[in-house]
Amino acid sequence: MKKFSSIIIPLLAGSLAVSAQEKSSSAPLLQNTAERNRITTEGRMPAFADWDANPKMHPVPPQYNNEHALYILESEKRDFKFEGTGVTMYSTIHRIIKVLDRLGIEEFNQVVVPFRMNESRVDSVKARTILPDGTTRELKYEMLLGGSGGFFFALDGLEKNAEVEIVIKYKALSDYFGSIRYQYGVPILNAYFELNYPKEMTFNTKGYHGFPSGEEKTVGGHKQVKIYQADIPALQDQPSSFYDLYAMRIEYGLDHMTGRGGFNKGEPYTWDYLAHHNYQEFYTLKESEKNTTAKFLSTLGLIGGETEEQKIKKIEDGIKTNIVQYWELSGKEAENIDSIVMKKSASAHGMVKLFAACLKMAGVQHELGVTSNRTEHQMDAKFVNWAPLDYYVFYFPKHGGYLAPDEPYFRYPEVPAFMVNNKGVFCKTNPETEFTVGREVTEAEAIIRTIEPKSAAYTQINTKAWVALDNEFDATVDYKRTYSGYSAPELRKELAIATPEAKKKIILNEALIAKNPEMLVKYSVSNEAFSAVYNNKPLEIDATVKSNHLVEKAGDNYLLKIGSLIGSQDNFYTKQERILPIDIKYPHTLNFTITIKIPEGYKLLNTDALRIHEEHNDRNTGNTTAYFKSDYRIDGRTLVVTATESYPVLHYSVSEYPSFKRVVNAVADFNKVVVLMEPEKQKPGKKAKPHTAKAITAAAVTKKK
């Protein structure tokens, strides 16, 4: 079934292209879009007024008759203007959606317009429904208070073949860079992007995944880029993929600016320029800030003689323990080290500045970098666009480790998974020259560095389960799960911000066989605290679960659902064509050890079903890049089952999918494995059926397929 969501229209001038639709559909994708691309001239471009006083219904091309909804128009126009001493960006978003059936109506029956008060100002919002008989209903809106704020529209009275039209005008302080997505879960008939700006400015544009790039032209005393694209197919979401990476989008960036407002005096906006800008912003300190930093370092126990890694850990732990980060803080005070240390609070930028000052004055060799969220955008080193680079990270050349300064729930050397395997723009600094980087001495040099992830062996989730069966064959399962590497901070964060009730739900999810809270007898969490000063121990969860579903009676025999002890598993048993690559959050390995005491008077049949081995190998190198392997042994009356699932690499092409999916499906198959427990001595007249468990297991797998 196709899924969309309510219409969400972002109003962040320089932000990444945003989900206007939930991302799924069953329409064709990228392979055939190249020949569909065309940039039309003014004469061939469809005319769409901002708001037609007498709107007419738009016909639906026959090839889209089976869609639930259709974008007639997806348009955004951005105008840059000199105002006062700066540049303001004015934007107009114009969107027309036709709903074609009940599902389309249900999914497009509201409009949400979020925005941030300190970044943009909405000048006007208009929305209406146009019914098939020509009746129009203009909609009122109400301001949403709290959070980031926004507008909300409830689109009542929609019917089949009706249209929804929205026109929003807003303005924002310009940051000269942007990325706008033009592909969603339903097709777009007409996509339009326009950029207007003074003749003193020069922009570059680049389209991705089949969306056209633009060409700068001079029109009536100003410059302009216009791009039109017809018939953009729907892009479906698929499991284990980062959808936003592969959707059509347009990116733009200021190349240079001369004359009025050109604070860089015509110099090009390059990666080197960004590195120098970051250096000036975060390493320029007043004398009072230097003194405050020195005193702060002394309170952290830095007395000299520490190794560089000890310094890194003490600085990080000291800042993240003593300084509270407030995302809503802004202004110079939130970035002034004197104020930060005194008030023990800072903005995200303030945290970065305090880290830079402490590392600098402690003599720690490091590089400050900035990167994007890999699940949404991978940095293109060949096209300068600063907009998606929202996340700061420090790199330590001597150790190869990374630190995320404004992520309070992560500790060196782990950083959020969305950073790894992505490129970042780093500025090299050198304590031996007192970090003197300036234009009068030398130009700042940008280093485009890939944030390499740790190996799959570094991040492990190890699960041990001990199963005891009572006289009624009800099971008590004692789980011990340990989390190391990238897996630990994410779970620590969940636990840290959770209410007691929410925390129990998290534990319930980690106690793999537990289906409801009543099954969870007790639990405990160890090494939950965030600290890198002392040797970080793996996060541990111990849980005891009672289950009367692990064993089922089948005549005189019992069916032991051993595979269910690893928890429910995703699978790729689908006939749907794979069109998106496979993406993994981070390299990782999962290990399972299951120990079961075999009840007296019973023996096990069909244990060979516990032996599964599938692997995916790189066709060029022959290296194993994904695998699942399970085995067992019987020691007396004890059954011990082991299984390992590992994903050493983060990206698999579509061509690798047939081999890769066998690994994923092998794990799902193991989850369905059932072993038969048969009485060692049969009652008179009874005959065992050793094939029963095998038949049940095969049936379960077939059903899953």
pLDDT digits (tens, 9 = 90+) for 580-610: 999 999 999 999 999 999 999 999 999 999 9
What is the reported pLDDT for 174? Answer: 72
Q: Report d(CA 192, CA 94) in Å as an integer.
A: 9
β pairing state of 551-554 and 612-617: unpaired
β pairing state of 401-403 and 391-396: antiparallel
Do residues 34 and 127 both lie within one domain?
yes
Distance of alpha carbon 240 from its chain centroid, rounded? 11
What CA–CA distances, in Å, run from 663 to 446, 564, 656, 669? 41, 17, 11, 10
For residues 306, 308, 314, 315, the Cα torsion angle rounded to the nearest 10 degrees is 130
Q: Which of helix, strand or coil describes residue 278?
A: helix
Do residues 157 and 279 both lie within one domain?
no
**Which among 232, 257, 282 is the end of a domain?**
257
Given a cut of 70, the residues of the chain with pLDDT beneath it are 1-49, 114-120, 140-151, 260-265, 328-329, 429-444, 531-536, 682-705
What is the reported pLDDT for 515? Answer: 85
Q: Enter the tokens of residue 246.
A: 């592969």
Residue-wise pLDDT for 165-218, tens only, equals 989 888 887 779 999 999 999 999 999 999 999 999 999 999 999 999 999 999
Which is nearest to 479 in space by CA: 461, 469, 466?
466
* One-letter identity of residue 374: R
What is the reported pLDDT for 160? Answer: 93
Asked if residue 532 is part of any domain, the answer here is no
Q: Which of helix, strand or coil describes residue 244?
A: helix
What is the reported pLDDT for 643? Answer: 98
Tell me, what CATH number does 682's domain have? 2.60.120.1130
Q: Report d(CA 141, CA 167) in Å as an integer.
A: 13
Residue range of the domain that includes 160: 7-257
Backbone angles phi, psi at 441, to 5 degrees: -105, -55
Backbone angles phi, psi at 150, to 5 degrees: 155, -175
Whether the CB-CB separation of 279 and 368 falls below 8 Å is answered with: yes
Backbone angles phi, psi at 515, to 5 degrees: -110, -25
**Which among 450, 483, 511 is the end of a domain?**
450
Backbone angles phi, psi at 610, to 5 degrees: -80, -5
Do residues 20 and 147 both lie within one domain?
yes
What is the reported pLDDT for 85? Answer: 80
Do residues 683 and 583 both lie within one domain?
yes
Whether the CB-CB separation of 590 and 461 falls below 8 Å is answered with: yes
Asked if residue 388 is part of any domain, the answer here is yes
What is the reported pLDDT for 455? Answer: 93
What is the reported pLDDT for 473? Answer: 93
Do residues 16 and 155 both lie within one domain?
yes
Which is nearest to 663 in space by CA: 580, 582, 579, 565?
582
With a CB cutoff of 8 Å and minimum separation 6, the contacts of 623 are: 617
Bridge partner residues of 136 (DSSP): 130
Do residues 373 and 335 both lie within one domain?
yes
Asked if residue 505 is part of any domain, the answer here is no
Asked if residue 190 is part of any domain, the answer here is yes
What's the mean pLDDT when you consider all of the chain?
84
Compute how many other C-beta atoms are within 10 angstroms of the C-beta atom of residue 329: 18
Do residues 242 and 283 both lie within one domain?
no
Do residues 606 and 552 both lie within one domain?
yes
Q: Report d(CA 536, CA 487) in Å as an integer.
A: 13
What pTM does this model have?
0.85
What is the reported pLDDT for 258? Answer: 85
Asked if residue 487 is part of any domain, the answer here is no
Compute how many other C-beta atoms are within 10 angstroms of the C-beta atom of residue 127: 21
* Number of folded domains that form the chain: 3
With a CB cutoff of 8 Å and minimum separation 6, the contacts of 620 are: none
Do residues 437 and 466 both lie within one domain?
no
Do residues 227 and 281 both lie within one domain?
no
Q: Enter the tokens of residue 141.
A: 């809106």
Peptide bond into 413 cis (omega under 30): yes
Do residues 291 and 210 both lie within one domain?
no
Do residues 358 and 246 both lie within one domain?
no
Tell me, what CATH number does 66's domain have? 2.60.40.3140
Asked if residue 494 is part of any domain, the answer here is no
Whether the CB-CB separation of 701 and 669 falls below 8 Å is answered with: yes
What is the reported pLDDT for 695? Answer: 39
Asked if residue 262 is part of any domain, the answer here is no
Asked if residue 413 is part of any domain, the answer here is yes
